[in-house]
Structure 1
Amino acid sequence: MLFRRTRIRALTPGDAVAAIGRVDKRTKDLTKRLEPGDIAIIDHRDIDRVSAESLVECKPSAVVNASKSISGRYPNLGPEILVAAGIPLIDDVGPEIMTAVTEGQRVNIDGPDIYADGKLAGTGTVETSELVAADMIEAEAGMSEVLESFVTNTIEYIRRERDLLLDRVGVPDVRTPIEGRQVLIVVRGYHYKEDLAMLRPYIREYRPVLVGVDGGADAIMDTGLKPDMIVGDMDSVSDTALTSGAELVVHAYRDGRAPGLERLDKLGVDCVVFPATGTSEDVAMLLADDKGASLIVAVGTHDTLIEFLDKGRKGMASTFLTRLRIGSKLIDAKGVSRLYRQRISNLQMTLLALAGIAALAVAIASTAGGQTFVGIILAYLDGVFSWIHNLFWSPSAG
């Protein structure tokens, strides 16, 4: 039996939520099967913005986190988004909750306490906007340590990928024609839906090469378009996208291992392997740059310092360096919206002018004076036509 309860803004000891529990350590995997009203049980230290927005879109009745949603390493944005959306967040419950609740089990939340089939499974802290704000202030003090680690990872990445970054060694050949064309790279990240909708006129006019990074390929298809290329480890992209005819570039580890190859073999589709350190969006950008793209437009990628840190991976150092490597060729989708204005064709101008003339004629004809004026014009035109007719068809003309 399924239990559903509408969302409440905050939980106190007197409040309760009853629903089906969905359990997964990986938030992005959980959101694939999370239904509205379910209780999401995750183990996500420092919930990032993308994960929080994905959870909000699924509309769970509550989120239970085994780890601390704000550990204090840096001011991550996820918890604030969840609390602002009115989704109860029970924080720092402990790792035991991940085994105390099984997938599909009935879960009851009473204030900070979580029950599974009537038995206490864990107790955490009910996050409020005041608690989140206080934690964010403390987290800002931990930025220096995180930045030092980020710089160290950046130096290590330069040492490992010097040949790729500087000499473009290791970039595979692809069949998709890119030389001299604009490339639109879509990552299922920050506000990707809004950016794609905003870029529809740009896509229609310039016909850029459409590159989806893992789930970004599905984002492209959701708009009614088809990706020309899919880049990634192929773990978060649908079979429909993989079999759509797009060229597949599998992001492999530096030693050549590529877990995504097994899935593609089962689907019976061909692919190209690109071994590189870093993230799949970096690989897509480096590939587009190496193959001669005239401009690279990024949708849903990372731009600000907090967004880099929000990703929570050492590989984000590669993202920073990749942007330095590509330079002025790379532009964010939001920048395109400010710089780009759709050109109006001559046909559109002509149709607009005719529509204006027709509207003016209707307006004139609807008044008494206008009807008299139209009558005079029609009488004059009738006289002109009669003169032309008599000129060519009168007996004297014969």
Structure 2
Amino acid sequence: MTQMRFGQGTNRITGTVVMDRRTKCLVKRIQPGQIAVIDHPDLDEVAAEELVENRVRAVINAASSISGVYPARGAAYLIRSGIPVVDRAGADIFCRLQEGDRIWLDHDRVGKVGESQAVVRGERLSAQTVWEKIHQTQSHFNQTVVAFMENTLHYAVSEKRWFMRPLAVPGMYTQLKGKQVVVVVRGTGYKEDLAAIYHFIKAERPVLIGVDGGADALLQCGWKPDVIVGDMDSVSDEALCSGAELVVHAYPNGDAPGLERVEKLGLAAHILPGMGTSEDVALLLADQEGAERIIAVGTHSHIIDFLEKGRNGMASTLLTRIKVGGKLVDVSGIRHFYPPKTERRRKAPLWAAVFSAPMAVAALPGSFTIDDSWLRMVWLSLRLWYFP
């Protein structure tokens, strides 16, 4: 179905409604060409990326996609991708429309197909209005930053004793001691960052831990997660049934709401109580079980990340990173340093490598064999650079 951009031809768009107050639940079932109705204040870029990947026809947000708390960029991502956005439609839309209704969008008006009267009205966003809102938000963002810092430090002081205690790790069959461990979290750019370290994973075969939806990213890249850690609310059934060892993140008191879903699938899981986020618990688990190095992909590490998750501080993450220390290598954003393979080939044509590699080998001392580390490193670099 052809997408129609606002401002191109008629403004009227029609489609079938899929509704959910939780965007991460909606993206699991919406089909290309359908219209998403969400209730997502300060729409984040990760949610917007998933809506774009699902090729939705339009998005109607009951809430404000940019409330002014921080410069949320999800709406900008949707509009840049050619997906119309009707904002601030109001919570009543969940009463006035039902899943499966055929509706029309005409500028800022939303109605049912066959009826001329609008059901609700919102604000149709354009690229200009979105960037104006983002600019206005940035002008008083410093106040938000100060409040965030104060909240983080306050809770870090009160929670530090808890983080010094060892986790009550259950008896796991996946061995982490002495291994390199990749922990994949559903954060901004996590799929691209994971793809950027594809060759590292292929060469080193580290233990793969998916944190909730991070397990699905591993599957999409062709890897099976060894362990899945989380409250199991944003991971697919496919990932849960992939054969990974399941660790349900529970509240410190042992209550584990995510266990019910796992049991409904007929699967077994460990319960791991822990304060903080599931990604904190995954990092602490890998550290405590003796991982040699922990490579983090898509983790949340700055104020925008946490405001997008609806958190007003990052005490648990600050304490986790202090405790894990130099063992942690955060590769979030690595996609910016490694262009697509086709670009790399343009920068350095294959014939250059073919002719230069034998010359380098010929210059080696006679005692240098193919098993020596230097030559193996050259060969691995060439292989990772030019071949899958």
Percent identity reads 46
> 2 CA distance for matches of 1:238 and 1:109?
31
2:5 to 3, 8, 16: 8
My pick for the range that moved more, 141-150 or 85-94, is 141-150
**Equivalent runs, 1:133-144 vs 2, <5 Å:** 133-144=131-142
In structure 2, do the counterparts of structure 1 residues 318 and 143 end up closer, same or farther at CA, with 3 Å as the change threshold? farther
Whether 2:93 is the aligned partner of 1:94: answer no
Residue identity opposite 1:7 in structure 2 = M
CA contact (8 A) 1:10 1:128 kept: no
Aligned to 2:39: 43
Question: How far did 1:299 drift?
Answer: 1.4
1:25 to 17, 21, 37: 21
Aligned to 1:188: 186
**Equivalent runs, 1:1-398 vs 2, <5 Å:** 6-10=3-7, 15-117=11-113, 118=115, 119-159=117-157, 161-314=159-312, 316-333=314-331
Residue identity opposite 1:102 in structure 2 = Q
CA contact (8 A) 2:298 2:332 kept: no
The RMSD of aligned alpha carbons is 2.7
CA contact (8 A) 1:227 1:246 kept: yes
CA contact (8 A) 1:5 1:19 kept: no
Deviations for 1:108-165, whole angstroms, at most 9, x for unmatched residues?
A: 0011100024242111111111111111111113323322442344245435532342
Deviations for 1:298-318, whole angstroms, at most 9, x for unmatched residues?
A: 112223432232222246442
Aligned to 2:365: none
CA contact (8 A) 2:251 2:274 kept: yes
> 2 CA distance for matches of 1:257 and 1:75?
35
Q: TM-score, normalised by structure 2?
A: 0.80
CA contact (8 A) 1:9 1:83 kept: no
CA contact (8 A) 2:57 2:84 kept: yes
Q: TM-score, normalised by structure 1?
A: 0.79
Larger radius of gyration: 1
Deviations for 1:347-375, whole angstroms, at most 9, x for unmatched residues?
A: xxxxx79x979xxxxxxxxxxxxxxxxxx
Count of residues in Structure 1 that have an aligned counterpart in Structure 2: 342
> What SS does the corresponding residue of 1:161 show, helix, strand or coil?
helix
In structure 2, do the counterparts of structure 1 residues 263 and 142 end up closer, same or farther at CA, with 3 Å as the change threshold? same
Unpaired segments of 5 or more residues in structure 2?
339-353, 360-388
> 1 CA distance for matches of 2:130 and 2:222?
39
> 2 CA distance for matches of 1:293 and 1:329?
8
In structure 2, do the counterparts of structure 1 residues 147 and 209 end up closer, same or farther at CA, with 3 Å as the change threshold? same
In structure 2, do the counterparts of structure 1 residues 332 and 286 end up closer, same or farther at CA, with 3 Å as the change threshold? same
> 2 CA distance for matches of 1:5 and 1:227?
36
CA contact (8 A) 2:27 2:50 kept: yes
> 1 CA distance for matches of 2:141 and 2:302?
14
Aligned to 1:373: none
